[in-house]
Amino acid sequence: MAKDMTSVAIIYNYGEVLGGGDLVMLNILRVLVENNYNVTLITSYPEGLAKSQSFFDIKIDRTKIDVKNINISRRIPHPYNIAIITRKAIRFGEKHDLYIVSDDIPKSLAKLASRNEAKVIVYSHYPHASRILLKELVPFRFRYSFKGRILWRIHSILFKYYYSLDWNNENIYVLSNSTLTYEHINKSLNPANNIILYPPVQVRKLLDKLPNKEKTDKIIYIGRIQPEKGVEDLLEALKILKEKNGNTIKATIIGFKLSDKYLKRILDIVEKYSLDNVTIHINAPRSIVLKELSESKIIVHPAIHEAFGIAVVEGLAAGCTPIVRCGMYGPWRDILENGKYGYCFRNVTELASQIIRAIRNPLNRDTALKKALEFDEESFTSKLIEIIQDII
């Protein structure tokens, strides 16, 4: 089937939550447009595309995209908003050869696939379906309070009415962002087609815009400000280092906040320990991220049960030595290859020790860059094109 005759729909709300998910879906959209596919964006947040493009500096010819705005209440939370706009779009007559979604598969799409009426690609960072079926990696906010546990129970019941819990269909193609996601999806959802496709990282773009700064004994953290990301462990390690060496090692924390309450907790810890060497940037522009990366010797990624870790690759590209949490999966395995390209820790005492070790024995900069380039957008693009061509 010719590209210009192949109708592809992306069902996604760009800009709803800026992060790795947006970066992946923007690159998928870019690849489709640049390769002359007939592309439709089905969304309930059409203004979010420009917002997301601006943040990640990804240029896409929007005149080549047919945007279908499905009006639903903005109060409907993710992921249910995506399931509802998918169902409404199909009812309104939106018919396409291929649908692309993020993380989970709405039941209405699974039905089309089962009837051989369409093919579906789901790029999954880690699906809600696996969390529910395996009872693993449940977000902290749903685990440690009575209200949270009740909400998770309601979510677990409602989810199966909107999303598929069985991916064993030849017309469904799963692209897993990491070994962890790949193996957990295989274990819980029985997919007919599942391959690992690491997310795109803007390595070459980062290199073009990275300021030429002298590196200092500075640590950088990049990621969301939420309990799962382990920011508190980094602060505890900095407290240990302060008691041993004073506030000689600086740290910069950059990220999007989960809630005002949790951000206050982080700020209270900084004040309690008198960590005058810690700077926190919330919702920082890309220029601040690049400046801090260029000045930092170490990137600490203390996330608990992280599937991949785009920030770790960005750190490698900027010549930072990575320190991540030890584990069978995540960046320790998929990016650092179990210690070939960085260090890991199991507790805050070990993290403090590894920070000193990384300062004294940094990763070779050329080695770090070579590894980072394996995950560049160009690599993602070529692999994605091959996958789509094989499917269609």
Give pTM, 2 decimals. Answer: 0.90
Residue range 318-331: mean pLDDT, rounded:
94
Decide if pLDDT at 1 tops 50: no
Please report the pLDDT score of residue 308 as a whole number. Answer: 93
Give residue 384's pLDDT band: very low, low, confident or very high (50, 70, 90).
very high
Give the pLDDT confidence of 152-168 residue by residue, as tens digits.
899 999 999 999 999 99
| Cα–Cα distance, 292 to 312 (Å, whole number) | 14
329 with 265, same domain: the answer is: yes
Mean pLDDT of the chain: 92
Give the pLDDT confidence of 238-270 residue by residue, as tens digits.
999 998 887 678 999 998 887 888 899 999 999
Q: Residue 247 is encoded by which pair of tokens? A: 């506030």
Please report the pLDDT score of residue 4 as a whole number. Answer: 59
CB of 163 within 8 A of CB of 130? no
| Cα–Cα distance, 103 to 336 (Å, whole number) | 24
Please report the pLDDT score of residue 305 as a whole number. Answer: 85
Which residues constitute the domain of residue 276?
A: 203-373
The type of residue at 74 is: R
Higher-pLDDT residue of 305 and 122 is 122
C-alpha of 217 from chain center: 28
Decide if pLDDT at 190 tops 60: yes
Give the pLDDT confidence of 3-30 residue by residue, as tens digits.
656 899 999 999 988 788 899 999 999 9
174 with 232, same domain: the answer is: no
Q: What is the largest CA-CA distance in the chain?
A: 66
Residue range 126-145: mean pLDDT, rounded:
89
Give the pLDDT confidence of 276-296 residue by residue, as tens digits.
899 999 988 888 999 999 999
152 with 259, same domain: the answer is: no
254 with 134, same domain: the answer is: no
**What's 10's domain CATH number?**
3.40.50.2000
Residue range 307-319: mean pLDDT, rounded:
94
45 with 182, same domain: the answer is: yes
152 with 221, same domain: the answer is: no
369 with 381, same domain: the answer is: no
45 with 142, same domain: the answer is: yes
31 with 109, same domain: the answer is: yes
221 with 180, same domain: the answer is: no
165 with 20, same domain: the answer is: yes
**Domains in the chain: how many in total?**
2
353 with 292, same domain: the answer is: yes
Please report the pLDDT score of residue 5 as a whole number. Answer: 65
Higher-pLDDT residue of 305 and 347 is 347
